[in-house]
Amino acid sequence: MKTILTLKYGEKYTSDDVNSIYEHTEGKYNYVCVTDDPKGLDPNIGIIYMEHEPEGNMEKLKLFQFNFGGPILYLDLDVRIQKPIDHLFDYCGENPIICYTWWKDKKDKMPIGDYPYRDKFPLSNYNSSIMMWNDATHIWNHYNKNPDEYIVKYPYGDDTFLYHEGFTFEHLPNSEVYSYLYAGRKYRPEFTICLLNGQDRHPEIAKEYDELCMHQVGH
């Protein structure tokens, strides 16, 4: 059973964002949304209730405790699916998969284990907007032993925890995923998924991408 897993908490995203992923993948998988507010979700989407921690930034790590009897594809709610995704499940093997930031310049890369609190360098080469696993309970168990310690150690969030704690990840090929912002704000239809990361600094890019995508597809 192939599962698409999403996470919705707080007020940043809505049930429409979850339902959009369901619609764009034609409803042909098992769908589960972990949320603190299931109102408005498509009835075909399974719900796991999870209390939101307003001061936390490690919610995604809780997802690794789940196993649905087959490969899991986790998607952030700011991704845009551009092509059929069924082949992505073929990448899922023994090790979990996470999106690597292929789009960053080499000079911006952060060596594993080099973790100074320096804002001028990115603190992770991972982007957890897309992750896959068959069984990744070892990650959850590792975090759950000392959650308070890791929240202090990694104030920038789950990406840095996943990058620096010694886990073995595989990566999706750089031909599958691109970042709209780091691609020069261009619509790249040859990729399977587009990431709209960077909205904290550029909140306009989601609307910009959607309008550009609609124009490109229309022609």
Q: pLDDT tens, 140-187? A: 999 999 998 988 888 888 998 999 899 999 999 999 999 999 999 999
Tens of pLDDT, residues 4-37: 999 999 888 999 999 999 999 999 999 999 999 9
Pairing of strands 170-171, 97-100: parallel
Pairing of strands 126-133, 46-49: unpaired
Task: Taking the CA atoms of 175, 179, 180 and 182 in sequence, report the sign of the dihedral they define.
Answer: negative
CA dihedral 156, 159, 164, 170 (to 10 degrees): -170
Q: How far apart are CA 13 and CA 5, in angstroms?
A: 15
Residue 168 confidence (pLDDT): 96
137 in Cβ contact with 66 (< 8 Å): no
Q: Which residues does 166 contact at the CB level (< 8 Å), separation at least 6? A: none
Residue 110 confidence (pLDDT): 59
Mean pLDDT, residues 129-135 taken together: 97
- Higher per-residue pLDDT: 56 or 177: 177
Residue 68 confidence (pLDDT): 95
151 in Cβ contact with 174 (< 8 Å): no
Q: Which residues does 178 contact at the CB level (< 8 Å), separation at least 6? A: 103, 188, 191, 193, 194, 195
